[in-house]
Structure 1
Amino acid sequence: MDNLKDEIDKGNLGEEFVNNLAYKTYLKYWCYPGPCDEFGDRKEIVDLMILFRDTCLLISVKNYEFNGKYDRYFRNTLEKATSQLYGAERKLYGQRDIFIRHPDRPEERFEKEKHPHIIRLIVNLGEMVRFYPFHTETNTGGYVTVMDKEAFVKLIGELDTIPDLIEYLNSREKLLAGKSAYLLPGPEDDFDVDTANQFFSRDPDADPTIIPRLILSGTEADLLAHYLRNERKFSTQLTDSTASGVYLDLNGGWDGFIAEEKVKQKKAADKFSYFIDKLVENELLRAEPDWAKDMSLDLLSLNRFERRILGKSFLGFVQDNAEKGPDYMARRYQKIGNTAFLFLWLHKSRAIPQYLPRFLEIAAAAHLIHDGYQPSKLLTIGTSGFMQGFYFYYLPEIQFPSAYEQDILTDCKTLGWFTDMKKFEYTESEHPKT
């Protein structure tokens, strides 16, 4: 009985560890710890679920101690976790509607039609494991990513936006799917004879001409460094489809990567990007309009580099205008991909609550008309003084009737807009040069 209690306690500690990391990194709003089938058996579906855009990320956490026997350890961790993920997927994507609960919200239907892209992830918290498979499969052949504790910590510490994380996991899956792939995260001198014998006894009859074999010496963080150094791709050494077997020593790659001056400069430059994270967390997710969540999704769909561009631009815009007088207003319009961003600065005496919604509407529509409706949507972020409060406007659809368009153009003429426009080009490198 005591052993069972110890296992439950360890499991709960493991889930709490992963949940806290996910909350801190990806914002709690999209994280569902231990979601249950609220109107069914009320059993926990999976340890952690993250829902974002079209993706459902299912995470199973195992916290068994490693006793030196790899086959037993993998049965207690990978097989059980894979079974949990398979059961979670079957339940969530079955015929019956499943209702789940977020810690901060009432029950809601799991909208399976909105999340067709499934990522399955096992996080092993056991230590002293000197090799483990990069992935496993569910009963129906669904790919399951496998990581240890250290790997998970460093991964979401570096890829701290959901778009960056998803991009890496998809690239990793593309690299490893269909291969017999193992990671050897420990130092070479710690790979003793018993460990070697257990390693070579796995898949003894595997034919590398049928299932290619890939062995990487190093940690998941070393593999991540390899990916980031290679412009977010894996090198041809790893992606060569003609090779039946690949061994690559990546040891020390992560430590060398984070010590590089250009990486340190990137980290420093990325500080501007966290303005966007905080704006969503502290302002938009607390706003009342229904569209605030959609606007939050659009902002958090930007990767870390794109958030840096936007945050740096907005903060510079505010700094340029914060000391202007009561008759002054300023606008800045820019695009990232197919999304337009409009920044507004108004003296607080002009940000009159009863007139502000109409002013925001005119400004948003005017810039889209002037830009020939090129963007697919527009997000407006406004402020007064040096960020003395924020106001937002969101246009997910941007085509206007001709009569409305004419009214907007008339308003622009009255306001004197688009008579003395200043265009500037802005270049930002992900890795700034000294």
Structure 2
Amino acid sequence: MTRAEELLAELCERSFLSLWSYPSPYKDQGRKSLLADGKELCDLLVIFDNHVVIFSSKECAYKSNDNAILNWTRWYRSAVADSVKQLYGAEHWLRTQPHKVYLDKTCQHRLPVPLPTDVDMRVHRIAVAHGASQACYDAHGGTGALLIDSRIIGSAHSSSEAVPFAIGQINPEKGFVHVLDDTTLFTVLQSLDTISDFINYLHKKEELFQRPNFAVLASGEDDLLAYYLRNIDKQIDQHYFPVKEGSKGLGLRKGFWDDFINSPQFQRKREADRVSYSWDKLIEHVWERTRKKRMKIPQEQWQEESILRLLAKESRINRRFLSKAFIEVIKRSMYEQRSVRVIEPIRDDRKAYVFMLLREQDDLSESYYKIRQEMLQAYCLVVKYLFYNQVDYIVGIAAEGGGYDVITTYDFVVRFGGSWEEGEKEQAEYFHQNGFLQEMRRTHWEEKEYPSE
């Protein structure tokens, strides 16, 4: 891989885990013999539920001479237009030949996860264009990010009347393309460092640009991102791009991003988010255990794989809430033999959590882990019984009680809602009647993304 491709793969794996990121996948198009190599499909492929994110990354030096438009159009064709061509080609292949995508150039190892069907597939195309940031900064200042002007469409990007360093809609008829550069690649992936937050941003941005008779103007992707992050739709509790009714456009002044990250609200958010990375460490623990099991156990038998996906789907704000709840149970376990907390579905997520910490006693040392696992299973089963119409998944996490210093192992359980297996409901009723969550106390805990103090 080129340095630009390595950087892209590293950033995405750090944000989304390699569970969803596949650097430099291949297709067997034109491969005439078993000894021949396949063709690179794209620079990075990310698969998350029915969302497929295709990255194409190009690094091209920006030449400087007296003809500014010529400099721009040459760079644009090499760094952006060529990437876009690869993106559309990769999308066509994924939709028509989903079973012919490989991890290696010899086309021996197929993609380990199924792609969504053509009807269900939601494709997001991202061209990463390196090499123009310094020239853009010299011309316009700011952060060196490419300008955004949605009124520029198709061939207007590279015509004799092109606006240097400005990106609009590359080819609306074939699908929207996000264009990131040296500056904004880092900004976007570091600010949206969970797969759910990243996908939501792409989706909302695409909707914004596809509004009919509507112009989007910004001095860079970072300013657009800042506008998105600072606005929350309170009805659905999600970030969005607010637009006044009847408005014909959205214009963002230069420096919007700098003002945002230097604001007291952002500083309080960043401080509040620190605790959320405890959830990331828990994911890393499961991920390491899953990777070790790969060598010994077939993929269809990985219990951790389904757990890992459920944990990693949580947004940053959800991770903050869940981390606080788990830490609270750890602290309580210093004074209680058994500490349990049930997290009901957050918003419309239809996923419940059971956190349980159990102290180890000397007379139970040999059977402690078996008992802990069985108790966690029982708690998850009772939660399924109590919230049957509200949950699709129940995730159970157990560890040693007694405080942070004693935790060395975890148990994980996933139960699926929607139907009862034979005897399961009766078992859940039995556990509940015999003390499991019989006196469950319900509390309300509100988590604001931007704390007021």
TM-score interval, normalised by the smaller of the two chains: 0.7 to 0.9
**Which of 236, 248, 253 is the aligned partner of 2:251?**
248
Taking a change above 3 Å as real, the CA distance of residues 292 and 398 of structure 1, as seen in their structure-2 partners, is farther
Aligned to 1:159: 192
1:393 to 413, 420, 424: 413
SS of alignment partner, residue 137 of structure 1: coil
Structure-2 change in CA distance of 1:284 and 1:391 (3 Å)? farther
2:394 aligned to 367, 374, 378, which one? 378
In structure 2, the residue matched to 1:117 is 122
**Deviations for 1:366-387, whole angstroms, at most 9, x for unmatched residues?**
1221334421210001111333
1:303 equivalenced with 2:336 (yes/no): no
Match for residue 81 of structure 1 among 69, 80, 83: 83
> Which secondary structure does the structure 1 equivalent of 2:408 belong to?
coil
Shift of 1:422: 2.4
Question: Secondary structure, in 3 states, of the residue corresponding to 2:397?
Answer: strand
**Pairwise CA distance, 1:102:** 7.9
Tell me the CA shift for residue 323 of structure 1: 4.6
Equivalent residues of 1:38, 1:101 under 8 A apart: no
CA RMSD of aligned residues (A): 2.7
Report if aligned partners of 1:333, 1:340 keep a CA contact under 8 Å in 2: yes
Indicate the SS of the match to 1:381: strand
Q: How many residues align?
A: 382
Number of the residue aligned with 1:25: 15
Asked if the contact 2:382–2:437 (Cα under 8 Å) also holds between the matched residues in 1, the reply is no
Q: Give per-residue Cα distances to partners, 1:96-121, cap 9 Å, x unaligned.
A: 62132289x95336623357111000
Alignment of 1:213-232 (within 5 A): 213-216=215-218, 218-231=219-232, 232=239
Alpha-carbon shift at residue 152 of structure 1 (Å) = 1.3
Contact 2:432-2:438 at 8 Å conserved across structures: no
Residues 407 and 102 of structure 1: is their aligned pair in 2 closer, same or farther, counting only changes over 3 Å? farther
Q: 1:213 to 1:353 in 2, by over 3 A?
A: closer
Match of 2:47 among 37, 44, 51: 51
- Equivalent residue in structure 1 for 2:353, among 341, 345, 349: 341
Structure 1 CA distance for aligned equivalents of residues 421 and 383 of structure 2 = 15
1:266-345 residue pairs with structure 2 within 5 A?
266-284=269-287, 286-287=289-290, 288=293, 289-324=301-336, 328-335=337-344, 336=346, 337-345=349-357
- Shift in Å, 1:84: 0.6
What letter matches 1:250 in structure 2?
Answer: R
What is the CA deviation profile of residues 194-234 of structure 1, one whole-angstrom value per residue up to 9, with x for unaligned ones? xxxxxxxxxxxxxxxxx655432x22111111122222222
Partner SS, residue 306 of structure 1? helix
In the alignment, what sits opposite 2:161? none
Distance in 1, matches of 2:265 and 2:424, equals 50
* Unpaired stretches in structure 1, ≥5 consecutive residues: 1-10, 180-210
The residue type equivalent to 1:156 in the other structure is L
Taking a change above 3 Å as real, the CA distance of residues 430 and 107 of structure 1, as seen in their structure-2 partners, is same
| 2:376 partner amino acid | L
TM-score, normalised relative to structure 1: 0.80
User: Is the CA contact 1:322–1:384 (under 8 Å) kept in the aligned structure 2?
Assistant: no
Identical-residue share of aligned pairs (%) = 24
The equivalences for 1:355-366 within 5 A come to 355-366=371-382
Residue 34 of structure 1: aligned partner: 24
| C-alpha separation in 1, matches of 2:375 and 2:272 | 34
Q: How far off its partner does 1:393 sit?
A: 0.5
What one-letter code is carried by the residue in structure 1 that aligns with 2:240? K
Residue 433 of structure 1, CA deviation:
2.1
Deviation at 1:36, TM superposition (A): 1.3
Please give the secondary structure, in 2, of the residue aligned with 1:405. Answer: helix
Deviation, 1:318, is: 0.9
Q: Secondary structure at the match of 2:13?
A: helix
When residues 95 and 156 of structure 1 are mapped into structure 2, their CA distance, relative to the original with a 3 A threshold, is closer
Structure 2 distance, partners of 1:92, 1:372, is 37
Kept after mapping to 2: 8 A contact 1:61/1:81: yes
For 2:243, the equivalent position in structure 1 comes to 236
- In structure 2, the residue matched to 1:200 is none
TM-superposed deviation, 1:91? 1.6
Contact 2:130 2:182 in 1 (8 A): yes
SS of residue paired to 1:427: coil
**Structure 1 residue identity aligned to 2:130:** L
User: Which residue does the alignment assign to 1:421?
Assistant: 440
Any idea what SS the aligned residue of 2:19 has?
helix
Q: Is the 8 A contact 1:55 1:116 kept in 2?
A: yes
2:204 is matched with 171
Q: What is the CA deviation profile of residues 28-53 of structure 1, one whole-angstrom value per residue up to 9, with x for unaligned ones? A: 22111111126955111101111112
TM (norm. structure 2) is 0.77
List per-residue Cα deviations over 1:319-338 (Å, max 9, x = no partner).
111354xxx21211112231
Query: Which stretches of structure 1, 4 residues or more, deviate above 6 A after TM superposition?
Result: none
Cα deviation, residue 397, structure 1: 3.0
State the alpha-carbon separation in 2 of the partners of residues 404 and 161 from structure 1: 35
- The Cα shift of 1:172 comes to 1.2
1:259 equivalent to 2:268? Answer no
Q: Which moved more, 1:329-338 or 1:152-161?
A: 329-338
SS of residue matched to 1:118: strand
Where 1:107 maps in the other structure, the secondary structure is coil
C-alpha separation between the residues in 1 aligned to 2:77 and 2:425?
Answer: 65
Q: Does 1:410 align with 2:446?
A: no
CA distance in 2, matches of 1:393, 1:261: 40
Residues 125 and 149, structure 1, Cα contact 8 Å, conserved in 2:
yes
Structure 1 range deviating more: 249-258 or 339-348: 249-258
> After superposition, where does 1:54-73 map in structure 2 within 5 Å?
54-67=50-63, 68=68, 69-73=71-75
> Shift of the alpha carbon at 1:310?
0.7
CA distance in 1 between partners of 2:274 and 2:216 (Å): 37
Does the 8 A contact of 1:56 with 1:119 survive in 2?
A: yes
Distance 1:265 1:419, change over 3 A: same
Tell me the distance in 1 between the aligned counterparts of 2:424 and 2:114. Answer: 36
- SS of 1:28's equivalent in the other structure is coil
| Offset from partner CA, 1:350-403 (integer Å, 9 cap, x none) | 562344443222211112213344212100011113333110110123532584
